[in-house]
Amino acid sequence: MIARPLARFAPLAAAVLLAALSLACSGSEGRRIDVAAGDRPDGSMYFEPKTITVQPGEKVTFYVRNDGSGDHEFESDEAAIEEVVIPKGRLRKVAWTAPKSGDYPIYCDITGHRQAGMELTVRVQPAQ
Interacting residue ranges for Cu ion, rule: CB under 5 A = 72, 108, 110, 113, 118
Residue type, 20: A
> Residue 114 Cβ, how far from Cu ion at the closest point, in Å?
8
> Residue 12 Cβ, how far from Cu ion at the closest point, in Å?
51
Cβ closest to Cu ion, residue 72 vs residue 92: 72
Phi, psi of 18 (to 5 degrees): -60, -45
With 0-12 CB in 10 A as exposed, 13-18 as middle and 19+ as buried, what is 121? middle
Cβ closest to Cu ion, residue 36 vs residue 110: 110
In sequence order, what are the beta bridge partners of 76?
A: 81
> Residue 96 Cβ, how far from Cu ion at the closest point, in Å?
19
With 0-12 CB in 10 A as exposed, 13-18 as middle and 19+ as buried, what is 20? exposed
Cβ closest to Cu ion, residue 64 vs residue 124: 64
